[in-house]
Amino acid sequence: MTTLMMILGVVIFAVGLLFSIAWHELGHLSTAKLFGIRVPQYMVGFGPTVFSRKKGETEYGVKAIPLGGYIRMIGMFPPGADGRIESRSTSPFRSMVEDARAAAFEELRPGDETRLFYTRKPWKRVIVMFAGPFMNLILAIGLFLTVLMGFGVTQQTNVVSSVSSCVIQASANRDSCKASDPESPAKAAGLQPKDKIVSFNGVATDEWNALSDEIRKSAGDTVPIVVERGGQQQTLTAKIATNQVPKKDASGQITEGYVNAGFLGFTAATGVVRQDFGDSVTWMSDRVGDAVDSIIALPAKIPALWDAAFGDGPREQDSPMGVVGAARVGGEIFTLDIPPTQQLAMSLMLVAGFNLSLFLFNMLPLLPLDGGHIAGALWESLRRNLAKVFRRPDPGPFDVAKLMPVAYVVAGVFVCFTILVLIADVVNPVKIS
């Protein structure tokens, strides 16, 4: 049964992955056609074609390796300075430029002269190239909102799970009380497991972070605490202790380090809580920030990733993870002993996170990524507008093909990194903690 559930999770993630890729390319396709650019191919995957069907002037198909997708647009790069599409050079770097230029005109037909990508205004090219990542962002937002507002997320609540017997500093690394440890305010006040804290010091709250903040700022104060116990409300009184507790960031997440603050002395129970729209937006904003930080920190994580793949190093929970690793996690989700609705919610979260990463990664201003083409179009627009301002000749389209040697280097780095992540995902995978 566990194996079947694992397979089910992998299949669900794979379907989500393929849909995400197709959805991304649909953004490019729809806007390209909107601006009159001819698109001969729309493909999901790479390698040999498994299925294809031609409708109108576009061939739609699925290829064998589901690790990406593409659309082929006519005239991605302008002709050379001599007006020729194809010429030969003994320089290997120049050959890369010429090969890219020739491929852009490979399927040129009579009448296509007015349907070339590079002939469109820069703002139209920006829209075409941005539309793909933007579709991933829209899908990520839709899935996140579905889970947060429809299913809910597991988080700490105002319900008491357990009551501490004494006051122990967070850095003490022990759970048992010593004779010298003072009694915890929660125990002294009579707080019990399953109590739900309705208000604290006159402040009504049903949200854990808000309650935690109130407790932390009440060090040394004697406060009334209203709890719901057995369907009835009771008022307890507690003198809040000052204790060393973990630091929290602005979003309420525990961070490294400690701080002296108010301490009541109980463990909050966890539960599945549906978020309202405002809380969902805040949660998503935090995840975007985390994702941006992860991309910035990516180079610094390569040594640890290498050690995890080829050495004895552990695989960190925040280690870079590829499609294989994500599929494995997707399978593990369905083997967890949690309600099916939460299994589905976690799986949707995984696909949403994948789409958010696709959006941010593709927006990097590097060829051959979408962000590289966007940067080229914006640079062309800047050059042409400056030429108008200073009454200089129009410099013409920016020849992105000249950057192809750089694009090949970038692609080579991405391929090497992808292989490293793949090996780590196989030999030392990230596992659900």
Q: List active site positions.
A: 25
**What's the length of the chain?**
433
* Whether the bond into 182 is cis, omega within 30 of 0: no
Quick one: which of 78, 68, 19 has its CA closest to 46?
Answer: 68
Count of Cβ atoms closer than 10 Å to residue 29 Cβ: 22
Find out whether 221 and 170 touch, Cβ atoms under 8 Å.
Answer: no
Paired sense of beta strands 41-55 and 196-200, if any: unpaired
Distance from C-alpha of 84 to C-alpha of 262, rounded to nearest angstrom: 75
From 117, 119, 206, select the one nearest 159 (Cα to Cα): 206
Q: Determine the Cα–Cα distance for residues 87 and 99; give it in Å rounded to an integer.
A: 9
Show the tokens assigned to 323. 């499609």
- For 246-279, give one letter per residue: b (16+ CB within 10 A) or e: eebeeeeeeeeeeeebbbbbbebbeeebebeeee
Please name every residue paired with 246 in a beta bridge, in sequence order, or none if there are none.
258
CB atoms within 10 A of CB 352: 25
Tokens read off for 396: 């013409």
- CA-angle at 281, arms to 19 and 370, nearest 5°: 45
The count of C-alpha atoms lying within 13 angstroms of the C-alpha of 367, restricted to the half-sphere facing its C-beta, is: 19
What b/e string do you get for 186-216 counting C-beta neighbours within 10 Å, with b at 16 or more?
bbebebbeebebbbbbeeebeebeebbbbbb
Cα–Cα dist 74/84, whole Å: 16
Tokens of 381: 């627009």
Phi and psi of 99, rounded to 5°?
-65, -40
Report residue 294 as tokens.
């992860």
Q: Tell me, what amino acid is at 259?
A: V
